[in-house]
Structure 1
């Protein structure tokens, strides 16, 4: 009984964090529904959708990161939550990229105009910074024992390898994820979401201890904004340039070395 009482505060804190994340998911879903009914200008509609999607992704990941740090000896719990919320994001954020690399991929493949791409990128960057300050305000309320407002202003460097290895890890993660994203489009929606969630979880498991396995420049900016401020060049190379390099290598690989697979995808997309 004493052991159970000792665990109860941890359970309460975990439930509070999960409640916060699910509340944001619900709020974004309601906002998307309102937007669908009342906002009919394509430009505004696209911008707000991308902003909401990136805000949800960054907010939930910031809270997940905090939860994971409380149980470093039990990584299975963090990976389970990663898989679950990857499913949630996949189901609720349909039609958005939430990742500058995804926007870049669509522009390079001719599926998005430069103007639309620039607008989506702006929305993502604004949401990344906005989510950070929003969650900082929530943490300052002290809803759980580990919610501390000052935490958002500290740099917790996720890189545990030297710069070249970190670049390779982030580039490979971006290459693998966006390759799957591109070629899983022909798979049924329900199965595709599970496959992508499983892939994200695997990449986090494989590369999380090395660089955090973020492969999303907007998310990296939100998670480690203070680190960008202290060592901009290194973080810019690893978390912005490396994922972009992964996208470029992916497109070159499939268009030059595996043209039959690339042509098959583009043909099916046109049909």
Structure 2
């Protein structure tokens, strides 16, 4: 009875395309996309549990903030490293679908952590965070991003599926396909749009804020994908592309750090302008 049931389940999975691939190239003949998805899910789950443990064991202080940023940045970067594999094998639309759902998930699970350097800078400008605290958080994000590939490399080196073959020790190539100044402009505009949308949705308390933010972020990232990679996050770009063939350090820094930070600061001042505030107040749902 059990053997018959197992056979039926296997046939179902085979018909769905989950299994049936070469067992010599893919563990148990499982579809590589299933392995990639499982890897992302396990990584996110482990980081989520680590954050919960940190919050339960430590009082709220700067050291807890640093650890949370470190863990959250690793979670984000691991996911995006695997998204590189997914994009190379299943295209930009697969990347967009995964990015959309990840954006929804992270909006619900990251809480106070941002895994993004310019959010701390914005909080300094607003007066909600001091310079030393912001610097420590940014340092934790950079370190988290830089150590991530060590974990990714261990998994890729196992070559559980053919899509990981040779990836652990392959030289990376830069995503910047336009001149440095144009790249910085694209990253600045994209970051500015993402931050303006996020701030506006938060201000108006839109009930579909998470969904709208995920959709808009995905569209903006995909639009810039073939020019800069559409990172709009200095820590993420540094983790995935610092030192890759095709860009100098200066090109990387100006494009992904200077560009994104300028875009973030521009979004802050645009959002705080009186005209924008008046407009948002007019469309904000009235409370009785």
C-alpha distance in 2 between matches for 1:81 and 1:178: 21
Deviation at 1:148, TM superposition (A): 4.1
Given candidates 40, 44, 47, the residue that maps to 1:21 is 40
C-alpha distance in 2 between matches for 1:6 and 1:27: 24
Check conservation: 2:199, 2:271, Cα contact below 8 A: no
Q: Does the C-alpha gap of structure 1 residues 43 and 157 become closer, same or farther in structure 2, counting only changes over 3 Å?
A: same
Given candidates 84, 92, 117, the residue that maps to 1:65 is 84
Deviation at 1:229, TM superposition (A): 9.8
Superposed counterparts of 1:96-107, under 5 Å: 96-107=113-124
Q: Does the C-alpha gap of structure 1 residues 153 and 115 become closer, same or farther in structure 2, counting only changes over 3 Å?
A: farther
Find the residue that maps to 2:230 and give its secondary structure. coil
Deviation at 1:253, TM superposition (A): 3.1
Q: Does the C-alpha gap of structure 1 residues 163 and 41 become closer, same or farther in structure 2, counting only changes over 3 Å?
A: closer
Aligned-pair Cα RMSD in Å: 2.9
Given candidates 45, 48, 53, the residue that maps to 2:64 is 45
Residue in structure 2 matched with residue 251 of structure 1 by the alignment: 268
Q: Does the C-alpha gap of structure 1 residues 39 and 152 become closer, same or farther in structure 2, counting only changes over 3 Å?
A: farther
Check conservation: 1:102, 1:178, Cα contact below 8 A: no
Q: Does the C-alpha gap of structure 1 residues 103 and 228 become closer, same or farther in structure 2, counting only changes over 3 Å?
A: farther
Given candidates 196, 218, 236, the residue that maps to 1:219 is 236
Q: Does the C-alpha gap of structure 1 residues 61 and 86 become closer, same or farther in structure 2, counting only changes over 3 Å?
A: same
Check conservation: 2:242, 2:249, Cα contact below 8 A: no
Residue in structure 1 matched with residue 276 of structure 2 by the alignment: 261
**Length-normalised TM-score, structure 2:** 0.82
Q: Does the C-alpha gap of structure 1 residues 230 and 261 become closer, same or farther in structure 2, counting only changes over 3 Å?
A: closer
In the alignment, does 2:132 pair up with 1:115?
Answer: yes
- Extract unaligned runs of 5+ from structure 2: 1-10
Q: Does the C-alpha gap of structure 1 residues 194 and 4 become closer, same or farther in structure 2, counting only changes over 3 Å?
A: closer
C-alpha distance in 2 between matches for 1:190 and 1:23: 29
Deviation at 1:24, TM superposition (A): 1.0
Deviation at 1:3, TM superposition (A): 10
Find the residue that maps to 1:209 and give its secondary structure. coil
In the alignment, does 2:192 pair up with 1:175?
Answer: yes
Deviation at 1:238, TM superposition (A): 0.4
- Extract unaligned runs of 5+ from structure 1: none
Q: Deviations 1:223-245 (Å, cap 9, x if unpaired)?
A: 11232896101111101110011
**Length-normalised TM-score, structure 1:** 0.87
Deviation at 1:28, TM superposition (A): 1.2
Deviation at 1:158, TM superposition (A): 0.7
